[in-house]
Chain A
Amino acid sequence: MAHAPTLTQVAEIPNSATIGLLGDNPLALLKHPEARTGKPAKMTSRGLSVSYANKPALHDVDLDIPVNRVTALIGPSGCGKTTYIRCLNRMNDIIDTCRVEGSVTHDGEDIYAPDQDVVRLRTRVGMVFQKPNPFPKSIYDNTAYGPRIHGMTGSRDEERALVLDSLRRAGLLDEVRDRLDAPGTSLSGGQQQRLCIARAIAVRPEVILMDEPCSALDPIATARIEELIAALKQDYTIVIVTHSMQQARRLSDKTAFFHLGRLVEQGNTEDVFEAPQDGRTRDYVMGRIG
């Protein structure tokens, strides 16, 4: 992908050069303001179009996901933001009728290349879903699931350490320390979602995709998850789909606004909310559509 800057490329090239790279079209600067987030792209998509059973769902999306930052995808329901996030770890592969065109890269590697291993991709790009979906196993086994299938830990002690560490990072350890053998489904909704985050972290992914992780939760649980996300961005690149503009504003560094299957606007979160370039974005963030 000639025009897709890879991690190393972007890291080495100074901001002016990035502008030069995209310089043919002055508008490109507005569409690709990585320069101003100051972070290189961990994942990129170029010309990404998706259709389900020949019904287009996503059209020609170019977007960069900066490393160690929180990127929020916002937009009215049905705008394609969930479709987009599911392209980033190829979860759309499960749907038989789904067709993906264009390219998505992760660390410069095309993840839709024929020789790309989906299993490996998904260990690097983890996902947390809209509804908490713990396995019908114990809290411990839920968290240990990923490390076990990937053979990440040599001994039981190592495994236990990893499980406890993941639960701690997910802010759940103190609540469940003395009942690790209780079924994951016995936890409250917010705890279940944090368990799912712990489960995702335990695989040590580079990117965590979160598809409306708080939509099924009450405000208190939501606040805890938000704290958690803010803490996690130290170590992970996070992409979050949300229908709450406040949440996007509070949490994210970068915001991308989707509308009717198109990426309308992307940029620093403040810019998108304070000074949107596109009329549709303005209408949406001001609550006129959506």
Chain B
Amino acid sequence: MEARLKNRHRAERRFRLFGGLAIFTSLIFLGALFAIIIQTGAGAFKQTRIALDMHLSPADFNAGQAVEGDWLERADYQAMIKRALRQAFPELRSRREKRSLYRMVSSGAAFQLRKKLRGDPGLIGTDFRIWVLASDDADMVFKGAVPRDAPVAHRRLDDRQMSVLEALEDTGRLRSQFNWTFFSAGDSREPELAGIAGAALGSLFSVLVCLALAFPLGVMTAVYLEEFAPKNRWTGFIEVNISNLAAVPSIVFGLLGLAMFLNIFGLPRSAPLVGGMVLALMTLPTIIIASRAAIKSVPPSVREAAFALGASPVQAVFHHILPLAMPGVLTGTIIGTAQALGETAPLLMIGMVAFVVDLPTNILDPATALPVQVFLWADSPERAFQERTAAAILVLLVFTCLMNLTAALLRKKYELKW
């Protein structure tokens, strides 16, 4: 019996250890997930720029032929950038050498130059310096995301481009600055020009539509079921139905959106309106369940007090009970919205996966959403896109975590009030 007791205590310690290990493993996974995404994504918030010394003559713009305003639009800025590059590295003569030189700057450099000149046409004819975007390959090497001694196939800069990079660096014509493009631009095929603004706007529109639909519908359903519905088979059926809807795979909601909203109602594909409608249907059960719990937790004395003062049932609910249940309702709504914000699969079904460069301006414009943007970029082979994928994830996580945190605080603040 003594030996057995010893074994039993050993088994006890082992069991406890397993429990601790399970928690440890989960936390390690959580930590690794965040660490790797932060590590991968941090670089995307910085962007490399190359200084080009420009000297542009009016002849470059064929100013004599075009009308005012138009000539600035039409000029061949690409050629001007290339010329500036050639002048900076006159030793590179052959076609191949020159072509690899051109690939050091982004194709967006020409747009930058145009923008600068539109702002200040007086620069024409003078010497000025412009910091243009580096190409994504140069960017990755300069930021150290790709080691300089990596094999060429992996580094994607050949030795000639490396020496150009080092020459630029030595003469102080290379610098790293905060990546505003990432927050202000729409999608692009070029990583250095791609941003999340379009996706974020798409997400914003979808979530607003979702909230505008799901919040009133959810609260009204909860009020009806909790306060007015007769306890019969029909309401029982509604209840079972709601709890089952909460567990239907999200992609099925996408199929519903595709078949109903797009094919039968003929709503536009890829529009945040449809995305929001699908998300609203998905969020509805969450809001209903949370709101019912919140309404249920309001003590009956409040209801009785309202009735005693002569309030009608509807007045009692909307003037007295619902305001008291609001923290719980809002908690559920925020959690539901956070889920909707992170949802991807149903949006794929209704076509919010298109390559959209322009920022959406209203809920009918074609758009993507943040998580869909993550999905799209994750598929791109360029390393720079991988970095941006992680950065987009970080932005997405900041929003969902903030929302969940708000919900948690709200719940903590108002819990056990009675």
Which residues of A pack against B, CB within 8 Å?
A: 117, 119-120, 149-152
For the complex, give the distance between the alpha carbons of A117 and B7 in Å. Answer: 13
Name the CB-closest residue of B to A117. Answer: B5
**Contact residues of B between 1 and 48, Cβ < 8 Å to A:** 1, 4-5, 8-9
Name the CB-closest residue of A to B3. Answer: A151
For the complex, give the distance between the alpha carbons of A149 and B4 in Å. Answer: 9
For the complex, give the distance between the alpha carbons of A217 and B60 in Å. Answer: 104
For the complex, give the distance between the alpha carbons of A151 and B9 in Å. Answer: 14
Which 10 residue pairs across A and B have the least CB separation, nearest first? Answer: A151-B4, A120-B5, A119-B5, A117-B5, A150-B1, A119-B8, A151-B1, A150-B4, A119-B9, A149-B8
For the complex, give the distance between the alpha carbons of A119 and B10 in Å. Answer: 13
- The smallest C-beta distance from A202 to any residue of chain B, in angstroms, reads 15
Please give 10 more A-B residue pairs, beta carbons under 8 A apart, in addition to A117-B9, A119-B8: A117-B5, A119-B5, A119-B9, A120-B5, A149-B8, A150-B1, A150-B4, A151-B1, A151-B4, A152-B1
- The smallest C-beta distance from A286 to any residue of chain B, in angstroms, reads 42
- The smallest C-beta distance from A258 to any residue of chain B, in angstroms, reads 33
For the complex, give the distance between the alpha carbons of A117 and B2 in Å. Answer: 11
For the complex, give the distance between the alpha carbons of A4 and B164 in Å. Answer: 92
Using Cβ atoms and an 8 Å threshold, which residues of chain A touch B9? 117, 119
For the complex, give the distance between the alpha carbons of A214 and B354 in Å. Answer: 73
For the complex, give the distance between the alpha carbons of A149 and B5 in Å. Answer: 10
A-B contact pairs, 12 of them (CB 8 A): A117-B5, A117-B9, A119-B5, A119-B8, A119-B9, A120-B5, A149-B8, A150-B1, A150-B4, A151-B1, A151-B4, A152-B1
For the complex, give the distance between the alpha carbons of A65 and B341 in Å. Answer: 67
- The smallest C-beta distance from A11 to any residue of chain B, in angstroms, reads 25
Name the CB-closest residue of B to A149. Answer: B8
- The smallest C-beta distance from B52 to any residue of chain A, in angstroms, reads 69
For the complex, give the distance between the alpha carbons of A119 and B13 in Å. Answer: 14
Using Cβ atoms and an 8 Å threshold, which residues of chain A touch B1? 150-152
Name the CB-closest residue of A to B8. Answer: A119
- The smallest C-beta distance from A126 to any residue of chain B, in angstroms, reads 16
- The smallest C-beta distance from A162 to any residue of chain B, in angstroms, reads 15
- The smallest C-beta distance from A114 to any residue of chain B, in angstroms, reads 15
Using Cβ atoms and an 8 Å threshold, which residues of chain B touch A119? 5, 8-9
Using Cβ atoms and an 8 Å threshold, which residues of chain B touch A152? 1
- The smallest C-beta distance from B11 to any residue of chain A, in angstroms, reads 11
- The smallest C-beta distance from A94 to any residue of chain B, in angstroms, reads 15
Using Cβ atoms and an 8 Å threshold, which residues of chain A touch B8? 119, 149
